[in-house]
Structure 1
Amino acid sequence: MGLPLVNQFLAQGYALVHILSALKIKPSTYYNWRHWQPSRQEKRRESLKPLNFMVIVVLLLNSQLTNECSKISEYMTLKLMRELGIKSRMQKRYRKPKTVVTVDQKPNLIKNLHDLIGFWQTDITYIQLTNHRWVYLATVLDPEKRKVLGYKIGDTMTAELPTSALQLAFDKHRKPLIIHSDMGSQYTSAEFNIKCQNYGLKHSYSLKGHPYDNGRMEAFYSILKREEVYLKAYQTLTEVQAAIGWYINFYNRNRISNLA
């Protein structure tokens, strides 16, 4: 557009009306351009650009936001990332060992519930070390509050792992009416179910091959792996425990999607 040329011709002594006519520019267009001011949103976006690149990565990609930056909309975030040439980093997912369920299907007690109140969800996920060995994370989640209530990390996937995670949840939180899990051997074990019975919990199970019956639990693990696990290379069980402990604290206290 010839708008910048207008000022050049004005400086040479030409009349504005003749300049606009020659350039086929409407007077309103010229005056709007001359008096244009960036919007508050544009000023804010520009103010973020001088930040150190690593700070931008932390703020926009890792979702670890300050109170001020937490107000950044998804649209502004994506626009900033495009302008700064920042792309989301995702690593290739690893293949976890397959498990086989050999016991008969047990009842799903939460299938027809109308809300997420009154039950907890629990599950185990796999995390691979750099030496290709596995460690295991058992988690107990309140799906209504989207809070991790208890977790346990170990290098063996026995019934003790989820049972310990459940006990940690009992130690700090008021017990629910129902605990929901999949049909894995750890959750159908006598050890886990005796723990449930001792606390007066009913045990609900996902249908075999239907992980979405435990949807909020699966969603948490998906977020955990995108934002923490897939971005790191863990050499030891201790490193995993430290990293997951930090992330769960962040998830419960500071992550934007969990702020009420």
Structure 2
Amino acid sequence: MFNLYRGLRQLNLFFVALSFFTRLPIPSWVVIDAEKLNQSSRYFGVVGLAIGLISGLVFWLAQLVLPANIAVLLAMVAGVLATGAFHEDGLADTADGFGGGWTVEDKLRIMKDSRLGSYGALAIGLALLLKWQLLVELALYSPMAAISGFVVAHTLSRVLAASLIFSEKYVRDDSGKSKPLAQQQSINDLLILLASGLFVLLWLNGVAAFALFIILWCVRFLLGNLFRRQIGGYTGDTLGAAQQVSEIVCYLVILVVGLS
């Protein structure tokens, strides 16, 4: 009975993470509160795995009847629809805030503005274009290379972004308009999160897996420093930006190292 209770509790946490990061439906019995949202960060990588599998499945089916570049585009659309462009929105808001604000207060205010600025539009446009081109190159090498890219990048990018919760300071927004966000992460949550990242590295050969581990560690270090310099810590928007940047880095590393 005790093991069943623990299993249901972990399943509840997974569904909390799924509801936070995606538009996918969850069971009505799932309980969501601030404590469970914090603990659910351990499964953010697993949610990324699910999104990567959805995108990979759409790509696989589409490439059977369509050119690779169209199949990649449809797979990207599927990923955006599944998440509601959650992370893309964070990238745009972060670019607008960091690019248009002079003080921390200005940057946070701009990031909370629902309007899309020029920095945000450029960031989204260039990010989507770069992801599409990299994935097309992977798909032209082999369909399985593109599928591996989807699965690995969507998972590891969310592991990296969520791990910032453990080490960085949450920057509160006094306007009261902040969306719910995991603001704390225990060492157990972090270890489970990292385990999901190590699991998907098995999709790659040893050299590519090692290169991804080292490079993503460096990317995390650089992003953490950038966020501290700009606003003193992290917000939900900067975590979204971290996910988008590290997803692109994953595709780059897999293309350069994994296929060489």
Q: What TM-score, normalized by structure 1, do the two folds share?
A: 0.25
Name the structure where strand makes up a greater proportion of residues.
1
TM-score normalized by the length of structure 2: 0.25
Say which structure, 1 or 2, has more relative contact order (CA 8 Å, 6+ apart): 2
